Structure 1
Amino acid sequence: MIDWLNSPALVAFGVPTSWAEVLGFVTGLVNVGLLVRRHILNWPLGILNVLLLMVVFWSAGLYADSGLQIVYVILGCYGWWAWLHGGPDRTRLVVRHTTRTEWIGLAVAGVLLTGGLWLFLDRLTGSTVPLADGLTTALSLLATYGQTRKLVESWWIWIAADLIYIPLYAYKGLWLTAILYVAFLTLCVLGMRAWRGAWRDQRRSVTA
């Protein structure tokens, strides 16, 4: 199965593109589209997407991004549960803004994760882009955690990560994945607007 996923499916920009990358492209687009609409099925589809991308990133030597997918599977399972039962009295979660305490925690976690991953990748792996790999890994983890809690500002973190991912994947020759992240960037803007709208609707409902 792994051999087939790593086999060429097509040639994009003169570079052979594997089946794993093609399938990751398709499932990734659908997954983020569902996430923008706050549809619960984004979580199981997202788990499938990250398993495919794990194969892509390992083959490209992006070891932190590859290992990150395991954490994404765990966060995906947690997010699936939290959206259904993570609210008060195990009700469904609602969209909300990030508190000051949460921002401080995210900032501290981001600095520690980036620094730790950078050192690990630089000294113990063959990564050719240890800082960029570590930084995008940290940002992605923080953004995914924010979305498991339906935090509006998680989209801003994803936007920051995507702006680094796009040139990084182009540099590694993963052109289809780079294009996917351009689409992700657009969807992130749409997602932020949609979640802000949902938050305003909730506020009006509570006031009424």
Structure 2
Amino acid sequence: MQEYIQQNWLEGLGILTTLICVWLNTRQNIWGWFWAIVSSGVYGVIYWQFKLYSDMELQVVFIILSIYGWYQWLFGGKERTELPVTAMPTKFWVACSVIFLAFTLASGYMHSKYSDASLPYVDSALTAISLIAQWMMARKYLENWILWIGADFFYTGMYLYKGLYGTSLLYLLLLVLAMKGYQDWKKSQGLMLDL
């Protein structure tokens, strides 16, 4: 019972900090990166408890990418200025596709063969998409939200299946926020192109 209460408390904290993070990201607010670091730390512990090892590893990378994103948003533009929203260059799509397939197959295989991971290939595929989407967000590529929409949809189902009902609801809310983020960033991109 104590473990259940601790897990639910942690899950509640993870939900709250993740919602703050994504809401701030949709608004292109730099403090979203701080909350990304906090929520990633909390969810790293939760995923370890539920044997979702790819997702646990993802949280460590998210912390690193959050530091990178924080820097990029402040100084990644021309002449070390604030980074604007842009479309992802076509040349990166092929590389991202190769990375997605390689990561999914390698991580899924390793976790299915050498650990007691639950849903190793699904978890690994969602981890790969999330890594790519987070890197795209750090670079302020508009299409990051499209990947997040797809990932959030499937994460909702996976967490529901695993009995993480609060986190499943969180990913349903993140799906809605990702749709809003796409619309808001697209508008800001259009405004910047009109200038």
Deviations 1:123-154, CA, capped at 9 Å, x for gaps: 11101201111001000000000000000001
Cα drift, residue 199 of structure 1: 0.4
Who is 2:49 aligned against?
59
Aligned counterpart for 1:132 among listed residues 108, 122, 132: 122
In structure 2, C-alpha distance between the alignment counterparts of 1:176 and 1:86, rounded to whole Å: 35
Cα RMSD, aligned residues only:
1.2
The answer as to 2:148 corresponding to 1:158 is yes
Runs of 4 or more consecutive aligned structure 1 residues displaced over 6 Å after TM superposition: none
Aligned counterpart for 1:41 among listed residues 31, 35, 39: 31
The answer as to 2:38 corresponding to 1:8 is no
SS in 1 for 2:191: helix
In structure 1, C-alpha distance between the alignment counterparts of 2:181 and 2:157, rounded to whole Å: 22
Q: How does 1:80-119 map to 2 (within 5 A)?
A: 80-119=70-109
The two structures have a TM-score, normalised by structure 2, of 0.96
SS in 2 for 1:161: helix
For structure 2, the 5+ residue unaligned runs are none
Cα drift, residue 180 of structure 1: 0.2
The answer as to 2:64 corresponding to 1:70 is no
SS in 1 for 2:49: helix
Who is 1:24 aligned against?
14
In structure 1, C-alpha distance between the alignment counterparts of 2:139 and 2:9, rounded to whole Å: 32
Cα drift, residue 88 of structure 1: 1.6
SS in 1 for 2:33: helix
Cα drift, residue 159 of structure 1: 1.0
SS in 2 for 1:93: coil
1:8 counterpart letter in structure 2: I
In structure 1, C-alpha distance between the alignment counterparts of 2:110 and 2:123, rounded to whole Å: 11
In structure 2, C-alpha distance between the alignment counterparts of 1:8 and 1:115, rounded to whole Å: 35
Who is 1:172 aligned against?
162
In structure 1, C-alpha distance between the alignment counterparts of 2:142 and 2:14, rounded to whole Å: 25
Cα drift, residue 110 of structure 1: 0.9
What is the percent sequence identity of the aligned residues?
A: 33
In structure 2, C-alpha distance between the alignment counterparts of 1:124 and 1:89, rounded to whole Å: 47
SS in 1 for 2:107: helix
For structure 1, the 5+ residue unaligned runs are 10-16
